[in-house]
Amino acid sequence: MEHLSDDLFAYAAQLGPRTPPLDGEVPFVWESRRPGGPANAIHADRGAGPAGLLQVLEASGALLVAMVRTSSPRTRAHHVFGVSDPEGFAAMGIVETLVHTHDLAQGIGLVWGPPADLCSRVLARLFPNAPSSTDPWFTLLWATGRAEPPGHPRLTTWRWDGTPRA
């Protein structure tokens, strides 16, 4: 969940500067707080417990929503997979939220799935070459290396295409 919070924060931060960077990330300090852990800019206060962790996630998501809503559609900013626009960063944030919620649910033994229309919209925006004849949620899991639909081998590497469409 901390990783997801960090993703949402990082996408919002890329859109934040008056002139967003096109060739790199906004230079926050990225560090791991545990051996083998991911390098994040956002870290939750462990003393705040699960409720605090959820609050960090909610705040990071709200920052991305605010930046997407207030940025000009002509804004362009760096992402490791290529320069994107606010719509692309919004779609990336949705994919991160959906697939990491799936990961979290699996980790605690829950079955979870999002609305098909939401999956279809992010597939169309970020994975335009994904199969369209399979269930959109299962296809999104496939596109992010988490499932294997019939006739499509499981992906061991993947990337989305967040480049502006207009």
What pLDDT digit, counting tens, does each position of 56-94 carry? 999 999 999 999 999 999 999 999 999 999 999 999 999
Q: Please indicate, yes or no, if residue 35 is contained in any of the structural domains.
A: yes
Q: Please indicate, yes or no, if residue 149 is contained in any of the structural domains.
A: no
Question: For residue 21, what pLDDT is reported?
Answer: 97
Joined together, the tokens standing for residue 134 give 């399979």
Q: How far is CA 70 from CA 10, 75, 81, 82, in A?
A: 16, 10, 23, 21
Question: For residue 8, what pLDDT is reported?
Answer: 98
Give the residue among 97, 82, 65, 70 at the shortest CA–CA distance from 1.
97
Q: How far apart are CA 144 and CA 156, in angstroms?
A: 9
Q: Please indicate, yes or no, if residue 161 is contained in any of the structural domains.
A: no
Give the residue among 54, 57, 52 at the shortest CA–CA distance from 6.
57
Q: How far apart are CA 106 and CA 111, in angstroms?
A: 7
Q: Please indicate, yes or no, if residue 58 is contained in any of the structural domains.
A: yes
Question: For residue 166, what pLDDT is reported?
Answer: 74
Joined together, the tokens standing for residue 36 give 């083998």
**H-helix or E-strand containing 90?**
helix 86-107
Question: For residue 133, what pLDDT is reported?
Answer: 87
Q: Please indicate, yes or no, if residue 162 is contained in any of the structural domains.
A: no
Enumerate residues 6+ apart whose C-beta is below 8 A from 8.
Answer: 57, 60, 61, 63, 64, 93, 96, 97
Give the residue numbers spanning the domain of 32.
2-143
pLDDT tens digit at each of 166 positions of the chain: 999 999 999 999 999 999 999 999 999 999 999 898 889 999 999 999 999 999 999 999 999 999 999 999 999 999 999 999 999 999 999 999 999 999 999 999 999 999 999 999 999 999 999 988 889 999 999 999 999 878 888 999 999 999 999 7
Domain count, the chain: 1
- Chain-centre distance of CA 61, in angstroms? 10
Does residue 115 contact residue 126 with C-beta atoms inside 8 Å? no
Q: Please indicate, yes or no, if residue 160 is contained in any of the structural domains.
A: no
